[in-house]
Structure 1
Amino acid sequence: MKIEKFPEYKLDEYIKEKMNENEIYIQGEYQNRTIVVLGRVTPHSSDVNEARCTQDAVPILRRKGGGGAVLLFPGVLVLSCSFKKDNRAVDLMGFLEESVKKIKEGILNYMDVPLEIRGNGDLCIGDKKILGSSIYSTKDYITYYCTLIIRGNLNQISEYLLHPSKEPEYRKGRKHEDFTTSIEANVNIADEEKLFTSIIRSLGTININDLILVD
């Protein structure tokens, strides 16, 4: 099955343009179709149900950043946050941790929900994952990507993704539907636009200069 490039590739020139005008560029959109997205080196043969994807015409795409395979579907919010770094080295793990921390703060500024940061850039309600993260860096800018499950049918994840070849310790072998949850399954979202705005504002407080590595 042919694996296409995730649309972030097409955004490179656009992000470069935005980085010429701004120090930071944040964007977010709700997923409107079902697709599988692989990490930069995720093996598709062991992590993806290719036969089912072909049967249902679900595209398999590959992103530039790391991380495992994810299923995007209506109800998932896809966020990206890019910072100008001007050929400077950035503490990648520090950047990842700070980005997830800011999303957590943005959600908590709007609603009361028991959030925990776990694994490598995962945000969870209790021990169930609602957000996964990835980062990608060029000499000019660094971008944080994440997928946040607002709502949706989580049972479909197991239809298109196999059990991952690598998993965080806290997953403990759980099936996709037992490992993930959505915000809406745990708390009522009174105003989704206000939640989105709160997250964006919180991400906007990241100071990339605090994460620059000094020789």
Structure 2
Amino acid sequence: MAEDICTRLLDLWPVEVDRIDYSLPTAPDNLAFDEALLLTVNDEPEAACVRFWELRRHAVILGRSNSREKEVDAAACVADGVEIYRRCSGGGTVVAGPGCLMFTVVVPLTAEISKLGVPATTCQLLGRIVKQLRPIVGDVQIKGTSDLVVGERKFSGNAQKYSRHALLHHGSILYGFDLPRISRYLNMPSRQPDYRVGRGHDEFVMNVAATREQLTSAIATAWNADEDEHFVPPSDLTAQLARERYRTPEWNA
């Protein structure tokens, strides 16, 4: 049944979307850019896109409703100069940086997609990606709410945010990440999927044996995404969101 949910009704998604390979220097700028894309697609459905980005420096990124005190070892972050930020989507807290590919899918939210509900929508989004990843990294499965795993070890976390007329899907893929940093900066999560069975970060997560180029190509293929030579970044809106939200102590508390 789960496999059926992941594979049927794929005609509800755009036939093709724009591919955007665009990384900004800091975490708050990149998070603001993603929300700017969501607001853009909310008003302009033809701007649907898949974006790839990666941080140059390590940062902890909280899910929208995560508790900073519960999820993060703040003392370790301060000692290493690792800053803590909050994204607009749900899901758990992650450590991002070199070797952690971030991808963002932003598509129009139609009435038909809304009727699917969040679990089925998530499964369909991930199902498209899983189909393209399997020839590269092996027997990828969807576990928990929205994890991608190989052999019960997680390599990808995913989360979403809905606006009135658009959907933003955040995903991360570990492919060459300094894994010990996860257990250094993060406490055991307050919410855990059953399949984790209490495993610590070092026993639970893994890097997939794939290059960044292989991963971006697979995800782009899943969404029929081609680069738009005329793409104009929503720079003004990004700067405003970064200034008024993603760089503020109130948002990141």
TM-score (norm 2): 0.70
Over the aligned positions, Cα root-mean-square deviation in angstroms equals 2.3
CA distance, structure 2, for counterparts of residue 38 and residue 60 of structure 1: 7
CA distance, structure 2, for counterparts of residue 112 and residue 42 of structure 1: 30
Query: Match for 1:12 among 8, 19, 35?
Result: 35
Maintained 8 Å contact 1:39/1:63: yes
CA deviation vs aligned residue, 1:30-54 (integer Å, no higher than 9, x gap): 3322111111111111110001111
Maintained 8 Å contact 2:59/2:83: yes
Q: Does 1:120 align with 2:145?
A: yes
Shift of 1:131: 0.4
1:23-38 correspondence to structure 2 within 5 Å: 24-38=48-62
Residue number in structure 2 paired with 1:45: 69
Query: Match for 2:125 among 75, 81, 99?
Result: 99
CA distance, structure 2, for counterparts of residue 162 and residue 7 of structure 1: 24
Q: Does 1:141 align with 2:151?
A: no
Q: Does 1:60 align with 2:84?
A: yes
CA distance, structure 2, for counterparts of residue 192 and residue 165 of structure 1: 30
Larger RCO, structures 1/2 (Cα 8 Å, 6+ apart) = 2
CA deviation vs aligned residue, 1:39-93 (integer Å, no higher than 9, x gap): 1111111110001111111111111111111111210110000111268872222
CA deviation vs aligned residue, 1:151-184 (integer Å, no higher than 9, x gap): 1221111110011111111111111010000112
Residue ranges of structure 2 left out of the alignment (5+ in a row): 1-26, 226-253
Greater mean deviation of Cα atoms: 46-55 or 21-30:
21-30
Q: Does 1:155 align with 2:180?
A: yes
Amino acid corresponding to residue 202 of structure 1 in structure 2: A
Maintained 8 Å contact 1:87/1:140: no
CA distance, structure 2, for counterparts of residue 116 and residue 13 of structure 1: 31
Residue number in structure 2 paired with 1:193: 213
Q: State the SS of the aligned residue for 1:107.
A: helix
CA distance, structure 2, for counterparts of residue 36 and residue 176 of structure 1: 15
What fraction of aligned residue pairs are identical, expressed as a percent?
23
Maintained 8 Å contact 1:77/1:147: yes
Q: Does 1:173 align with 2:193?
A: no
TM-score (norm 1): 0.82
CA distance, structure 2, for counterparts of residue 152 and residue 99 of structure 1: 24
Residue ranges of structure 1 left out of the alignment (5+ in a row): 206-215
CA distance, structure 2, for counterparts of residue 112 and residue 105 of structure 1: 11
Maintained 8 Å contact 1:105/1:199: no
Alpha-carbon distance change, 168 to 112 in structure 1, aligned in 2, over 3 angstroms: closer
Q: State the SS of the aligned residue for 1:146.
A: strand
CA distance, structure 2, for counterparts of residue 177 and residue 142 of structure 1: 32
Maintained 8 Å contact 1:28/1:78: yes
Alpha-carbon distance change, 161 to 192 in structure 1, aligned in 2, over 3 angstroms: closer
CA distance, structure 2, for counterparts of residue 11 and residue 153 of structure 1: 25
